[in-house]
Chains A and B, each alone.
Chain A
Amino acid sequence: TQLLEQSPQFLSIQEGENLTVYCNSSSVFSSLQWYRQEPGEGPVLLVTVVTGGEVKKLKRLTFQFGDARKDSSLHITAAQPGDTGLYLCAGPPYGGSQGNLIFGKGTKLSVKP
């Protein structure tokens, strides 16, 4: 069974601090996606990484896909209260149907002003 493990589970920081959250697996994924979910809403896709070693930037967010395509990280620079939410990584299961995704349990981020 393919699993995605995220760490830390919870993170509470002050506005302006930097942070990194991790998504790790013992299995290879063809791609990984990062979502952010706010209370009472569904997850919203932030980015998809496809190539081993790939780095993508989205304003203050930097996403990296490991060379072996087994892990990914999300780094936030100068966090703001608006970054608060649940960050989820997800990927399609190897050899599975085209549709469904395997999700990690998420990192719950709280940024205090």
Chain B
Amino acid sequence: GAGVSQSPSNKVTEKGKDVELRCDPISGHTALYWYRQSLGQGLEFLIYFQGNSAPDKSGLPSDRFSAERTGGSVSTLTIQRTQQEDSAVYLCASSLAGAGQETQYFGPGTRLLVL
């Protein structure tokens, strides 16, 4: 079966522009997560969805970041007015039900470069 897919795989944008990153989770997975991986910083949690609602948005670094999930499936992470410090790999993961010990299945990531 298909794994988690993300698009685009790479994105280069200019400072100040908005970007949208897409995640298609594994079919049937109710939980979806966004993480950011910066050089030397490890994976940083951004937001968690259970179905279409986001019970935990605590990791979003500023109000320029937002995310939504529709139909319990696809999710979009939007970064407005991008800054150079937003450059990173944005990883999406999904799991069956969102329990703490569940396996999270990661997509390949979107590499964002803000010039």
Contacts and interface: CB of A to CB of B under 8 A. Distances in A.
Interface centre among A44, A48, A101 (most CB of B within 10 A): A101
Contacts of A88: 42-43
Interface in B7-60: 31, 33, 35, 40-45, 48, 50, 55-56, 59
A102 B107 CA distance: 18
Contact of A98 (B4, B42, B98, B105): B98
Helix, strand, loop or mixed for chain A's interface?
A: loop
Contacts of A104: 42
Contact of A43 (B41, B43, B59): B43
A44 B4 CA distance: 12
Interface residues of A, number: 24
Helix, strand, loop or mixed for chain B's interface?
A: strand
A45 B104 contact: yes
A85 B42 CA distance: 14
B106 A43 contact: yes
Interface in B94-111: 95, 98-101, 103-109
27 contacts: A30-B101, A31-B100, A40-B108, A40-B109, A42-B4, A42-B91, A42-B109, A48-B103, A50-B101, A88-B42, A90-B43, A97-B48, A97-B55, A99-B31, A99-B33, A99-B48, A99-B55, A99-B95, A99-B98, A99-B100, A100-B59, A101-B33, A102-B45, A103-B43, A103-B44, A103-B45, A105-B41
